Chain A
Amino acid sequence: MSGILKSSVGRKFAMALSAFFLMIFLVMHVSINFTSVFSEELFNNMSHFMGTNPLVQGLMQPILIFGVIFHFVMGFVLEYKNRQSREVSYAKNVPSGNSSWVSRNMLLSGVVILAFLALHFYDFWIHEMTVKYVEGDMSGLVDANNPESGFRYYEELREKFVSPVRVGIYAVSFVLLSLHLLHGFNSAFQSVGANNKYVKSLKGFSKVYAIGVPALFIFIALFHHFTH
């Protein structure tokens, strides 16, 4: 078992495991975000729970951050090694004849998603960490000294989607995420050795997931932009 990450198969396996973890996280994230479309109270309560629960904050959040960093770092490591494996390029190459654009450009879509994540962290995560752990305000209230002021999460979310530029960036990023998932979902199963009749039957589901989840994120951003 030792040294499995030094092998090409082991690295791909680890990459796939982190991908599965992130895909499950995405479902949870979009589910919570979607509540903001129909219930301000439910969204606020869920956000407050996720933002203050010790298990989520102390255990799940660090695991998530590790998963994100691992997935990106391993992606770059694999890309670097792959580029080393062909020192001279073909004078004429027609890769479109044997493979899809999305499968050949996972790094490109991944880098766009990484840039988006930087914006996303700047927009929400750094702000949350500052309020809670620097300023020490764990109340989640608009005014920490006024319990009647209500939770701040819903209004903060809507405020972020006022700018059409930010909404545009979010939309483009989620389109790239969709392309990334269109290949990544099935690729992860292949990397862990699952390529049988049951997994093949998941191909339809993978398209629904890869298009549906990012589309929901875009819908939420557009909803708040146009209803603010």
Chain B
Amino acid sequence: MMNLTLKIWRQKNANDKGKIVDYPVSGISPDMSFLEMLDVLNQELIEKGEEPVAFDHDCREGICGTCSLYINGRAHGPQTRITACQLHMRSFNDGDTIYIEPWRAKAFPVIKDLIVDRSSFDRIQQAGGFISVNTSGNTQDANAIPIEKEHADKSFDAATCIGCGACVASCKNSSAMLFVSAKVSQFALLPQGQVEATDRVLNMVKQMDAEGFGNCTNTGACEVECPKGISLENIARMNREYLAASLKG
């Protein structure tokens, strides 16, 4: 069993200034997930009549992209290619001090404690992260369209982005380019995505800039911290798509 000191960002609401608060926790099993450890802490806080720590979580199996914790200075903690819910306490040592903070970005304002508002991602998606398909009953079976395997694989890889925002959180510029480029790429690589390709990339980049995300300076931090390993190749592809669309438009 482990005894830990947690330094957790507490913020009552969006307008509160917020601060780091220390919480000692004991009897933590190395086999617990990180979120289960927070559940233990919250149970203790509730029993003491204190406000539990608010944090985002849903599937708890690395699929939904909801958990968004900056743990000991890294998005989703010290391990790579996992989300915070897939992180286990065996990644830490007895006696450790662990910092737990929300994603930090102007476009991800803190709602409460460790929960941030990521609706800016939703608005970027709404600006063009889709294909318009006629669903009148005569829709062509997508599997009937031959697609080069390399393109299909890269499109699938891009589509594995769960929109967790770790790319933004770990980028020194709070750039959302890895996320946006993944959403652009998953369609740009497929014939179904070609029809709206020009408008898609122009509108999504425009919305991304309007949300206040920073510029990409190609540090590669986003790729390293992405739980799904989304490649920087997607940003280059989005840049190509954007420049070509700008020339057309």
Q: Which residues of A does B touch, CB under 8 Å?
A: 1, 4, 6-13, 78, 81-82, 84-95, 97-100, 103-104, 106, 183, 186-187, 190-196
Minimum C-beta distance from A106 to chain B (A) = 7
A1, A10, A92: residue with the most chain B Cβ atoms closer than 10 Å: A92
Q: Which of B73, B173, B233 contacts A93 (CB 8 A)?
A: B73
Interface string of B234-249 (1 = CB under 8 A from A): 0111111111001101
Please, which residues of chain A bring their CB within 8 A of the CB of B78? 97
Interface size on B, residues (CB 8 A): 50
Docked pose: A98 CA to B224 CA in angstroms: 6
Docked pose: A95 CA to B213 CA in angstroms: 18
B88 at the interface (CB under 8 A from A): no
B172 and A95 contact, CB distance less than 8 A: yes
Interface string of B169-208 (1 = CB under 8 A from A): 0101111010000000000000000000000000001101
User: B212: nearest residue on chain A (CB-CB)?
Assistant: A85
Please, which residues of chain B bring their CB within 8 A of the CB of A85? 105-107, 173-175, 212-214
Q: Which of A6, A13, A190 contacts B243 (CB 8 A)?
A: A13
User: B238: nearest residue on chain A (CB-CB)?
Assistant: A9
User: B211: nearest residue on chain A (CB-CB)?
Assistant: A85
Please, which residues of chain B bring their CB within 8 A of the CB of A103? 217-220
Please, which residues of chain A bring their CB within 8 A of the CB of B240? 193
Q: How many A-B residue pairs have CB under 8 A?
A: 144
A-B CB proximity, top 8 nearest: A193-B240, A195-B236, A94-B73, A85-B214, A82-B173, A98-B224, A193-B239, A99-B219
> Could you pull out 30 A-B pairs where Cβ atoms are within 8 angstroms?
A8-B208, A8-B209, A8-B215, A8-B216, A9-B243, A82-B175, A84-B214, A85-B212, A86-B106, A86-B214, A90-B73, A92-B7, A94-B73, A97-B73, A98-B221, A98-B225, A99-B172, A100-B219, A100-B220, A183-B218, A187-B217, A190-B218, A190-B236, A191-B218, A191-B239, A192-B243, A193-B236, A193-B241, A194-B236, A195-B233
Minimum C-beta distance from B102 to chain A (A) = 9
Q: Which residues of B does A touch, CB under 8 Å?
A: 7, 9, 20, 70, 72-74, 78, 99, 101, 104-107, 170, 172-175, 177, 205-206, 208-209, 212-221, 224-225, 232-233, 235-243, 246-247, 249
Please, which residues of chain A bring their CB within 8 A of the CB of B218? 103, 183, 186-187, 190-191
B239 and A1 contact, CB distance less than 8 A: no
Known: A13-B239, A86-B174. A195 touches B224 (CB 8 A): no
Q: Which of A4, A183, A191 contacts B246 (CB 8 A)?
A: A4
Docked pose: A190 CA to B175 CA in angstroms: 15
Docked pose: A9 CA to B243 CA in angstroms: 8
Docked pose: A104 CA to B221 CA in angstroms: 10
Docked pose: A84 CA to B174 CA in angstroms: 9
Minimum C-beta distance from A137 to chain B (A) = 45
Docked pose: A82 CA to B219 CA in angstroms: 13
A104 and B205 contact, CB distance less than 8 A: no
User: A84: nearest residue on chain B (CB-CB)?
Assistant: B106
Docked pose: A8 CA to B106 CA in angstroms: 16
Minimum C-beta distance from B170 to chain A (A) = 6
B107 and A1 contact, CB distance less than 8 A: no
B246 and A10 contact, CB distance less than 8 A: yes
Q: Which of A86, A94, A183 contacts B72 (CB 8 A)?
A: A94
Minimum C-beta distance from A50 to chain B (A) = 33
User: B99: nearest residue on chain A (CB-CB)?
Assistant: A92
Docked pose: A190 CA to B235 CA in angstroms: 8
B215 and A11 contact, CB distance less than 8 A: yes
Please, which residues of chain A bring their CB within 8 A of the CB of B20? 91
Minimum C-beta distance from A207 to chain B (A) = 16
